[in-house]
Each structure stands twice: as C-alpha cells, then as structure tokens.
Amino acid sequence: MKTIILSLSPRKSFSASMYFSKVVKLFMTKGEVSIATIKTQKEYLNFEKQLTDIDNLVIVTPVYVDTIPSTVLEILVKIQKFAQDKKIALNVYAMTNCGFYEGEQNQLAQKTIEMWSRKCGFIYKGGLGIGAGVMVAFTRTLPFIGIAIECLILLIRVIMCIAAGSLTVQNVFYHYFPYTFLIQTGLYLLWNMGFFVNGFRFAKKIEKSGDSPLKYTTLWFCPRFLFVIIATIYWIVASVIWYKGPFWRLHKEPKRAKR
C-alpha cells in the first residue's frame, strides 16, 4: 500500500500543514508512506510520476477565507488534467486546518476537495478538519521554549554563585526543578490531544484505505476565551517578527511608486 501525503501550504517554512503531515505519517506504521511538497515545477513533475503508482493521496492544506488558497487550487487543477488524461484511480483523503477555533470552519474546504476528487475520477474517502490550526502547530515550540527558560534560570544561578564566590554544582542545582519545561510540555500535549487522537484514527483509516467519516477537532483543554487571548498575543508578536513592524501598520496602504 503506497500513500503520498501532499503538503500544499504556501508558506516556505514552519507551516502548520507540514507539521500535521509529519505527525500523521508518524502514526502510519504500515505500507510505504512519503511526504511531498510542490514548490517548484521540478517537484510537480516528480509528483506526477509518483501519482500513477500510489493507492492513497492525502491532501493537506490550510484554509484561507473559508476555502483552499488560490495557489493550492492551481496545483489541483493541474493534477486534475493529468489524472483525467491518464485515467488514474486512487483514494483521496483531506486534512485541512483553519485559524478559527471551530474545526467546522473547514467544511467548505473539505467539500471543495471532495468535488475535485470526483472531477479527477478519484474516490474521496473523507477527511479531518482542524480548528485553531496555526495555534495547534505553534505549540510544538512550547517544550523548546521551556528548555530555553530553564537554561536561562541555570545561567542566572551560575552568575549569582560566581558573584557570591560559591560556584559549585550543588549550589547551582540546589532546590532546582524544571517546572517551566514540564508545564510547557504539558500544555503542548494537552492542547494537541484532540489532533493526536483524531489524527491517529485518521492515519489508521488511511492505512487500510478505508472510509474516514469527516471529523472536526480543535485545541483540547483550551476554552474559547483563552484561545482568543493567546491568539491575540501570538499575532501581535508574529506581526513584529514577520512583518518587521507594529501590528497596527499591517493594514496600511502601500506607498505608490513614484512616476
């Protein structure tokens, strides 16, 4: 049984779609499973060659404005033409993720992929819609943030011991316990639990080429009001890092080029 998990996020790095793809692949212990991306024409041509020799295709994509991004649609149209010409038959599964808290917001994107599958002559077997996708994927950094904070704490302890003239391993680690790391790792596991549980079930259905009734999930153990607070802080920080400026300038009209 051969399966390709096709991650179609427009983002070049640190995409949520790639994170979800890798976790689902980890859950699939039977058959030949690979992850593919299509960023260049060379990657697309290589994907076409593989498409004729697989049993399952898993489409993984983010949701922009309630449906799949235009860049993903362009790729799907190219695949459709190729599949119709070659009369390829395979199973299609879809894993979509949106920024909204509710996983149900993925419904239109899933329906789009279902209709596309029929056009291609593929069999749509179902999918998984993930709410709060960006936040779920971002939580993978929490254990590393915990490690960084613990290292900072130990560094401060070393500096204080040096200043006091009592630098020993015993003094540095006196009454030390990695609370921050454990808390951050615990939050990561709790908030991802919904995806882990449903992603595992989704992966096992794919292994058997069985039907996977459409499921929706989101951040577990994180009420909506808390998600709103965390998401607001996240996007403010992200705007400063990614867009090199304060978040309130993101919607400012671009300067017109001088004639």
* Per-residue pLDDT tens over the stretch 51-63: 999 999 999 999 9
At the top level of CATH, which class does the domain 2-139+192-222 belong to? alpha beta
The H or E element that residue 43 is part of is: helix 41-51
Q: Which residues pair with 216 in a beta bridge?
A: 129
Tell me the domain boundaries of the chain: 2-139+192-222, 140-182, 223-259
Rounded-to-integer distance, Cα 57 and Cα 78, Å: 15
Percent of the chain, pLDDT > 90?
A: 86
Instruction: Examine the pLDDT at 243 and tell me if it is beyond 80.
Output: no
Burial of 195 (0-12, 13-18, 19+ CB in 10 A): buried
Q: pTM for the complete prediction?
A: 0.90
Query: Tell me, what's the pLDDT at 153?
Result: 97
Phi then psi dihedrals of residue 75, to 5 deg: -65, -40
Instruction: Examine the pLDDT at 258 and tell me if it is beyond 70.
Output: no
Percent of the chain, pLDDT > 70?
A: 93
Question: Among candidates 226, 218, 256, which has minimal Cα distance to 103?
Answer: 218
Please report the sign of the dihedral spanned by the C-alpha atoms of residue 120, residue 122, residue 126, residue 130: negative
CA atoms within 13 A on the CB side of 257: 1
| Helix runs in 87-178, H state only | 107-120, 133-138, 142-164, 169-172
Model confidence band, residue 23 (pLDDT cutoffs 50, 70, 90): very high
Rounded-to-integer distance, Cα 67 and Cα 256, Å: 31
Q: In what order do the strands lie in the sheet with 2-7?
A: 32-37, 2-7, 56-62, 91-97, 123-130, 212-217
Cα 88 to the chain's mean position, in Å? 28
Query: Tell me, what's the pLDDT at 256?
Result: 62
Structure tokens at 76: 């799907």
What's the pLDDT tens digit per position in 176-206?
Answer: 999 999 999 999 999 999 999 999 999 999 9
Least confidently predicted of 11-25, 50-64, 85-99, 227-241? 227-241
Neighbours of 24 (CB within 10 A): 24
